[in-house]
Amino acid sequence: MIRTEELLLNVGPQHPSTHGVFRIVVKLDGEVITEATPVMGYLHRGTEKIAENLNFTQIIPYTDRMDYVSAMTNNYVLVHAVETMMGLEIPLRAEFMRLIVMEMQRVASHLVWWGTYLLDIGAMSPFLYAFRDREIIIDLFNELCGARLTYNYMRVGGVKWDAPPGWMDKVRDFIPYMEKKLQEYDKLVSGNEIFLARIKGIGQYDAATAIDYGLSGANLRCTGVDWDLRKAEPYSLYDRFEFDVPLGTRGDCYDRYRIRLEEIKQSLRILKQAVEQFPQGGETMGKVPRAIRPPAGEVYVRIESPRGEIGCHIVSKGKAEPYRLKFRRPSFVNLQLLPKLLVGETMTNLITILGGVDIVVGEVDC
Amino acid sequence: MSEEQEKKDKPEEAPAVDPEREAKLKAAAEARAARQAAKEKAEAEAAEAASPEPKPPSPKQPQPDRLVALVRQAAGDDAIMESYLNELNGDMPTLVIHNKHWRSIASMLKEHDELRFNYLRNVSGVDYETHMEVVYHMISLESKQEAAIKVRTERDAASVYSATPVWATANWNEREIYDLLGIDFPGHPDLRRIMMPDDWVGHPLRKDYEPLDSEV
């Protein structure tokens, strides 16, 4: 008779497949997980507390550092919340610039996910391809605002910098390039038997669970729930463009993978239309009072970030600083289902499922 | 030498400019008068428009009315402390209720056929110094009807019934609020700190929180 006992295994906070400093403690019975407890807070910087002593323009750089893979959408949710409170009108050119950088950011963010997810599962080279193409977007952002990841690009009332001469042409050239590359990657990876065996039917849940847990983004749409805020509650200029919301049916890692790839394609479609319709002239900053003081009251605005619904809840007392600022971070909310999903799975699937959620720890901890 | 020349030139040039300048002044004065008249007219029109009816009711008005009625039905007439449409936030129906009624209202909001707020999008806690509030932003994915429910509680021994049994997503959100604001959530399955270390003293987002080391 062999004596067996449960094993408590610590994963992270420094582990390549946790994408940052996420830690999870799992109880193992042989190879099977019987309990999983996420431990967060290793990257908690108290952004919400710091923000209470800053004015709104000063808070923008802090939003860059929440979801550092998708800083543009974070910029937008904050300035959009303040603009909603103050009832500001944004010049068309500025709004176009915002939309274009946000969609480019979505492509870049999904490329990071695609590359690192395959790396987690054991495919080395896709990571290099993904980062090569993401580099083009990052170079374009660098040219636009002088930063590669933390852009601090948007302002209440518009954007800080106009597109430099020739920039829009480079974006226009990038779209067909990326479309072609995307097809290539799809052919390269998506049909791979080993890869499919690793992700098909893994981490499955149904629509009712997804809604109950407040999941958003690809994590919600993989179950077939048609809920993309760009369509459901249009903000910015999204109601001007044609695009589809890809949906899944099974709610497993494979569906989430397909959706994210398809979303890159749809983003490129939006970009193509936006570049075409981009207004010739116009301002990049609207008329904004010298001191930005939203009226007393509160507002909750939400947009679709690459990871799901990112929201900003501002309570203002009419001062230049927010009385309370709360961010609804999609990574944090999406992660809640993880302990439930992991029970009964093997250790190898832990990596597959965690990667499929697509978290950014800067956003989980805030 | 050049200064002398300038002095000489000036008196000669000045009269030459004058008629043009006068014309400009006159045009500016006319424009000012026109603007003033237009402004007065606009103000008068605005006053006229505003006086008979202060503000047209929001098209969303029936929604909160029904919401209020249903909440009263579920928890009694005194359940609602305040109800209004949040104009800043696109006329979001907002209810302020006291904690003691929250437990019965929460499940009604999710399960009632007319409301079906099945998606809890955001939970945040606010320290108002006189009292505390936990704000639940919810939406029905079917009808796209939205609501913000603000549950009020005393600041000392702050406590709000947990919504986790109703919406699973409230779990970590409430843990975060407990951690950062020190609001207790009776009925929560696993109320522990989530961001700060387990042995941390105090709740950082409270307005009277004093950091251990103010230099940091």
Q: Positive or negative CA dihedral for B176, B179, B184, B188?
A: positive
Q: How far is CA A149 from the centre of its chain?
A: 13
Is B153 a domain residue? yes
Pairing relationship of beta strands A154-155 and A297-305 according to DSSP bridges: unpaired
How many structural domains comprise chain B?
Answer: 2
Residue A38 lies in a domain: no
Indicate whether B43 pLDDT > 70.
Answer: no
Q: What is the CATH number of the domain that holds B121?
A: 3.30.460.80
pLDDT band per the 50, 70, 90 thresholds, residue B46: low
- Is residue A157 situated within a structural domain? yes
**Mean pLDDT confidence for B58-63:** 71
Residue with tokens 């978290």: A359
Considering the domain architecture, whether residues B100 and B12 belong to the same structural domain is answered as no
- Nearest residue in chain B measured CA to CA from A364: B195
Are residues B132 and B164 located together in one domain of the fold?
A: yes
Report the alpha-carbon distance of residue A318 to residue A12 in Å, rounded.
43
- Is B154 found in the same domain as B137? yes
Of B10, B40, B56, the one marking the end of a domain is B56
ipTM score: 0.90
Q: Using a CB-CB distance cutoff of 8 angstroms, which residues of chain A are in contact with residue B197?
A: 41
Q: What are phi and psi of A285, to 5 degrees?
A: -130, 135
Q: How far is A207 from chain B (nearest CA, A)?
A: 12
Residues of the domain holding A235: 45-358
- Give me chain B's average pLDDT, please: 81
Question: Taking CB atoms and an 8 Å limit, are B171 and A311 in contact across chains?
Answer: no
Q: What is the pLDDT of residue B1?
A: 47
Residue B26 and residue B80 in one domain: no
Nearest CB to A85 within list B88, B137, B168: B88
Q: Which of B9, B38, B56 is at the close of a domain? A: B56
Average pLDDT of A109-137?
Answer: 92
In a domain, A112, yes or no: yes
> Nearest Cβ partner of B120 from A214, A301, A332?
A214
Tally of domains within chain A: 1
Smallest CA–CA separation between A84 and chain B, in Å? Answer: 7
pLDDT > 70? residue B179: yes
Amino acid at site B111? E
Same domain, B79 and B173: yes
Q: Which of A9-13, A189-193, A243-247, B62-66 has the lowest mean pLDDT?
A: B62-66
Give me the pLDDT at residue B73, please.
Answer: 82
Domain of A308: which CATH number?
1.10.645.10
| pLDDT at residue B122 is higher than 90 | yes
Asked if A204 contacts A250 with a C-beta cutoff of 8 angstroms, the reply is yes
Residue A34, domain member (yes or no): no
Looking at the fold, whether B100 and B44 belong to one and the same domain comes out as: no
Same-domain pairing of B42 and B23: yes
CA distance A282 to chain B (A): 26
Q: What are the structure tokens assigned to A275, written together?
A: 């570049």
Same domain for B46 and B152?
no
Please indicate, yes or no, if residue B68 is contained in any of the structural domains.
yes
Chain B residues within 8 Å of chain A (Cβ atoms): 86-90, 92, 118-122, 124-127, 135, 137, 141, 144, 148, 167-169, 171-173, 176, 180, 193-197, 204-205
* SS3 of chain A: helix, strand, coil, percent, to 5: 50, 15, 35
Chain B residue numbers touching A46 (CB-CB < 8 A)? 204
Averaged pLDDT, A286-309: 91
Same domain, B84 and B137: yes
A201 found inside a domain: yes
Other C-beta atoms closer than 10 Å to the C-beta of A275 total 17
Distance from CA of A99 to the nearest CA of B (A): 22
One-letter identity of residue A106: R
Q: Does residue B153 carry a pLDDT above 60? A: yes
Q: Are residues B70 and B159 in the same domain?
A: yes
Residue A361 token pair: 């720890």
Query: CA nearest A42 in B: which residue?
Result: B195
Minimum Cα–Cα distance from B174: chain A residue = A333
Look at residue B48 and tell me whether its pLDDT is greater than 60: no
Q: Do residue B88 and residue A326 have CB atoms under 8 angstroms apart?
A: no
Give percent of chain A with pLDDT exceeding 70: 99
Helix A253-277 and helix A167-189: axis angle, to 10°?
160
User: Are the Cβ atoms of B88 and A299 closer than 8 angstroms?
Assistant: yes
pLDDT band at B87 (very low <50, low <70, confident <90, very high): confident
Q: Is the pLDDT of residue B2 over 80?
A: no
- Is pLDDT at A51 greater than 80 in this prediction? yes
Highest mean pLDDT among A6-20, B3-17, B168-182: B168-182
Check B194 against A233: CB less than 8 A apart: no
Q: What is the mean pLDDT of residues A155-180?
A: 93
By residue range, what is the domain housing residue B42?
1-56
Q: How far is B118 from chain A (nearest CA, A)?
A: 7
- For residue A366, tell me if it sits in a domain: no
Question: Which of A212, A302, A324 has the CB atom closest to B121's CB atom?
Answer: A302
Contact A326 B120 (CB under 8 A): no
> Which of A311, A155, A216 shows the shortest CA–CA distance to B137?
A311
For A299-317, b where at least 16 C-beta lie within 10 A, e where not — what string?
bbbbbbbbbbbbbbbbbbe
Is residue A40, in this structure, part of any structural domain at all?
Answer: no
Report the alpha-carbon angle A121-A74-A318, nearest 5: 155
Residues B36 and B82 in one domain: no
Q: How far is B167 from chain A (nearest CA, A)?
A: 6
Average pLDDT over residues A67-83: 93
- Nearest alpha-carbon partner for B193 in B206, B180, B211, B204: B180
- Does A114 fall in a domain? yes
Say whether both B87 and B161 belong to one domain: yes
